[in-house]
Structure 1
Amino acid sequence: MTQRGPEVPEATALYVFAACRAPGAALVAGLPGLPGVPDDRPVRTLPFGPLTAVVQSVRAADFTDEAWQARLADERELERYARAHHAVVSAVAARCPTVPLPLATLYHGEDRAREALARESDRFETALRRIAHHAEWGVKVFAPAARTPVVPDTPAPAERARPAPGAGLAYLNRKRGLQEARERRQEEAARAADEVDAELRLLATAFRRLRPHGPQQPGEHRVQVLNATYLVAEERAGELARLAEVLRDRTGAAIELSGPWVPYSFVGEV
């Protein structure tokens, strides 16, 4: 009869979602965590110095470089993990100031996690002080609609066959007029973006102006002229919404306000 040796424990890794100040398991009670992780490995807390990490034990084999690269190549699977990560961070952030860590932040064991996180304690503390009682708001501004559309004259077939005297000069003037109209609209859009950004900066605690996005959907003709994010105190959220409405009326630009969000943009790289 062949005897089996003792089972080798499955290698695990520690996945870290975020850092905060609040101690105790009640902070994360009932959070579902990452997809595919057994129920006996719930989201939990890990103290490191005066701070607390929100963590979950996972199978190390599921988070090797090869496994994670395969996940990155699968858009649907990557979205599952990103949503699960964000759900945990958002739930914790709703209870206390929280510094989210990047997706797939892993350590081999609790001791290594504590050591690595402790080295970042000063940065965590700075970020926690900055974002306490604040939220992140996204603002996108699109160029105002053209006030007077410029439509070039289309000659009739007979005219195309025999150009009238001076037709070449008229064509060049129309082209020049189109170009000048486009440049005026671009200048108006740039001024609108700068005006909106300047007003919102006065209200915000911190801000980041990002690269505008191109069209998000086929056939979309709106031109994005401002893509920015602002850190705003919770008690000023209503003021922010009213200001956005005033700026819509004043500039004629389409202004999209989104939030409140966990302040990912204002915690620094950790």
Structure 2
Amino acid sequence: MTAPGPTLREHTATYVFAVCAHIEHNTLAMLPGLDEHSPVRPLSLGTLTAVVQHVEAGHFSEDAWRERLSDRQELERCARAHHHVVSAVAARGPAVPLPLATLYRSDERARQILRQDAERFHTALRRIEGRVEWGVKVYAPPTLPPAPAPTPAAAPTGAGRGHPSSGDGRAYLDRKRGIQKRREQHHDEALRAAETVDTAMRTVAAASRHLRTHAPEPLEPGRTQVLNAAYLVDEKRSDDVARTIMGLRRSTGTDIEMSGPWVPYSFVGEV
């Protein structure tokens, strides 16, 4: 007699994209998720619903995920697939996105663990309902070029040739100090502009978060980020965000990037 083969449960894990109050099965049916051979589906948590999908457990083991992290193209594919599902759910109502690669051994295990956080999920859903996230980045303009060195005066008669005078040394140090001072003033001005932007945005937003600023891009070494922030804004105030940023660009002359509206990823953990 042939031994029974392994069950589906032994080969798969339950991948969780998001938690929401309720979502119709038909809304999820056409989403590919991370594995087009397995449907994205709702999983009841009682008063909440998780959006899940069965995935090959071996593809998301610790070793497999470490390998995926080293493959930028594959990592981007997974991140896009995850975000696509979360965005589709959020378009139907508030949804708490879970981190990339949130997996459980089974639906039963996912239900057991997620139910323990039911109060936190409910609080987060109330907080983000009717709101979206806007990202704002402020950049300092490229550092001002140093002032040109003064043309050296002709050496007086009898002065030794090939040896700088003490006046030349003082002039060199003065130029160095001037360059450093201009750089410091330049950076301080950029920080003040970033503070002005942040203050104005907080008058529009229900909440804000400062994120870690990014290092200068290799292709733009003189473009330094001085503010990287996220703002939680009522959906009906999206036009206010655009007007505020346009006004700040004119009034400060600062390089400001605006992105959104996004699912409020930055605010679902603050409950």
TM-score by length of 2: 0.89
Q: Which residue of 1 aligns with 2:4?
A: 6
Provide closer, same or farther for how the CA distance between residues 23 and 248 of structure 1 changes in structure 2, counting only shifts above 3 A.
Answer: closer
Q: Which residue of 2 aligns with 1:191?
A: 192
Q: Which residue of 2 aligns with 1:91?
A: 88
Q: Which residue of 2 aligns with 1:172?
A: 173
For the Cα contact (< 8 Å) 2:142–2:224, is it kept in 1? no
**TM-superposition CA deviations, 1:142-191 (whole Å, max 9, x none):** 11466x754231657x8894546722222222222212211111111111
Q: Which residue of 2 aligns with 1:135?
A: 132
C-alpha distance in structure 1 between counterparts of 2:75 and 2:141, whole Å: 36
- The CA deviation at 1:216 is 2.0
Task: Return the letter of the residue paired with 1:29.
Answer: A
- The CA deviation at 1:4 is 3.5
- Stretch moving more, 100-109 or 56-65: 56-65
For the Cα contact (< 8 Å) 1:144–1:252, is it kept in 2? no
Q: For residues 105-254 of structure 1, what are the structure 2 equivalents within 5 Å?
A: 105-144=102-141, 149-153=145-149, 155=151, 161=162, 163=164, 166-254=167-255
Q: Which residue of 2 aligns with 1:56?
A: 53
Asked if 1:100 corresponds to 2:97, the answer is yes
| Percentage of matched positions with identical amino acids | 54
Q: Which ranges of structure 2 fall in alignment gaps of 5 or more residues?
A: 156-160
**TM-superposition CA deviations, 1:51-92 (whole Å, max 9, x none):** 110000122222222222222222221211111111111111
- Stretch moving more, 172-181 or 194-203: 172-181
C-alpha distance in structure 2 between counterparts of 1:143 and 1:263, whole Å: 27
How many residues are matched?
264
- The CA deviation at 1:140 is 0.6
CA RMSD of aligned residues (A): 2.3
For the Cα contact (< 8 Å) 2:13–2:105, is it kept in 1? yes
For the Cα contact (< 8 Å) 1:145–1:253, is it kept in 2? no
Task: Return the letter of the residue paired with 2:246.
Answer: E
For the Cα contact (< 8 Å) 2:14–2:104, is it kept in 1? yes
Task: Return the letter of the residue paired with 2:228.
Answer: N
C-alpha distance in structure 2 between counterparts of 1:59 and 1:180, whole Å: 59
